[in-house]
A and B are shown apart, each in its own frame.
Chain A
Amino acid sequence: MKFAVVAFPGSSCDDYLYVLKEVLKQEAASISHRDTSLQDAQCVILPGGSSYGDYLRPGALASLSPIMDKVREFAKEGGLVLGIGNGFQILLETGLLPGAMLPNSSLRFVCRQQTLKVENANTPFTGCYAQGQIIQMPIAHGQGNYYLDPASLKKLQENNQIVFRYTDEAGNATEEANPNGSVDNIAGIINQGGNVLGMMPHPERSCEAALGSTGGLGLFQSAIEFLAERVKA
């Protein structure tokens, strides 16, 4: 199996399986949060949705699931892990990525097409994008206000770990272009090892023109190409 989508109670796995299997013709299956094996997955996706109803803190209860021990090991060995929306929140709660999420600065849920800038096109998930490319993808979250203390933020910036920023159409990371108050307009980050990506925008909702945007297609294609290269090597 190439892609494993982890099904937590309240996750929207079906959307990811549809995109991977029907749109991208990839081998993909869901794995229960109660499972203790990732089988032979080459890329693990922690999907969006509201695992455990976002109770306590979004992602907090999901991060304590049995499967997360395996995801941690998998990530340590260099396996590709992608957390989207609630999946990003789970990665933060698990400690696989630095920082934490606060409620949106507006205190309201926000769902809209959002302009993003690819800040680092040199990751397994962004190889198909051009550095600095401007793309569109929907966002839909109530707690996407990424927080990190200033010292850690500096490190993130220096290590080139910021992968996506919220920007305007000209690519400027302005306050107006920031939908949730995220520090430094951060929309997505990668770990130091370069194999664990977390992002609030929803690439799976952005793979078919009929649904309004195709900015997310490159992300999955990048991962597919990266895995193909890895197999060759």
Chain B
Amino acid sequence: MWKAEIRITLKEGVVDPQGKAVEKTLGELGYSQVEQVQIGKYVELVVNTPQRAEADRQVDEICRKVLINPVLEEYTYQLVEVL
């Protein structure tokens, strides 16, 4: 079995209203050196197959087809073997 740890982030150039709001608040709290706050998503799932290549193929497809909107988002992931 392979656990996929998937990070979804907004593509460069897409405005991130949540990130901006957090950045503003951090500024008001005195964290004046903080910049470029970006809020993304983290998804975990387990693919029940012994083959790494097969898990990789499925996770990549799931990311493209379901988990992200390619207009807005991009993704990276890593696979960890679970026993």
Establish whether A and B are touching in the complex (CB under 8 Å).
yes
Residues of A near any B CB (own CB < 8 A): 56-57, 60, 64, 92-93, 98-100, 102-107, 145, 147-149, 181
Complex Cα gap A103–B14 (Å):
12
Across the two chains, which residue of chain B brings its CB closest to A152? B71
A109 to chain B minimum Cβ distance, whole angstroms, is: 13
Q: Say whether B13 faces chain A, with CB atoms less than 8 Å apart.
A: yes
Confirm or deny: B80 has a beta carbon within 8 angstroms of a beta carbon on chain A: no
Contact among A60, A102, A107, A149 with B21 in the assembled complex (CB-CB below 8 Å): A107
For A99, give the chain B residue with the smallest CB separation.
B71
Contact B14 A64 (CB under 8 A): no
Whether B69 contacts A100 by the Cβ 8 Å rule is yes
If the complex has contacts A56-B67, A60-B69, A99-B71, are A104 and B17 also in contact, measured as CB distance less than 8 A?
Answer: yes
A56 to B69, CA, bound (A): 10
How many residues of chain B get a CB closer than 8 Å to chain A's CBs?
13
State in angstroms the CA–CA spacing of A64 and B72 once bound together: 18
Report Cα–Cα, A86/B65, bound state, in Å: 19
Residues of chain B from 1 to 48 with CB closer than 8 A to chain A in the complex: 13-18, 21
The verdict on B53 contacting chain A, using a C-beta distance below 8 Å, is: no
CB closest residue in chain A, given B72: A100
Q: Is the pair B18, A103 in contact by a Cβ cutoff of 8 Å? A: yes
When C-beta atoms are compared, the residue in chain B nearest to A98 turns out to be: B71
Number of A-B contacts (CB under 8 A): 39
Q: How far is the CB of B65 from chain A (nearest CB, A)?
A: 8
Across the interface, name the chain A residue whose C-beta is closest to B13. Answer: A149
Interface residues in chain B, defined as those with a beta carbon under 8 Å from any beta carbon in chain A: 13-18, 21, 65-67, 69, 71-72
Q: Which residues of B contact A57 (CB under 8 A)?
A: 69
Contact B17 A105 (CB under 8 A): yes
The answer to whether B69 and A93 touch across the interface, beta carbons within 8 angstroms, is: yes
Say yes or no: B69 contacts A64, CB within 8 Å.
no
A147 CB contacts on chain B under 8 angstroms: 14-15, 71-72
Task: Using CB atoms, name the residue of chain B closest to A106.
Answer: B17
Residue of B nearest to A103 (CB): B17
Smallest CB–CB gap between A143 and chain B, Å?
A: 10
Contact B71 A100 (CB under 8 A): yes
Nearest opposing residue in chain B for A183, CB measure: B15
Pick from A60, A98, A99: contact of B66, CB below 8 A: A60
Q: Which chain B residues border A64 with CB–CB below 8 Å?
A: 65-66
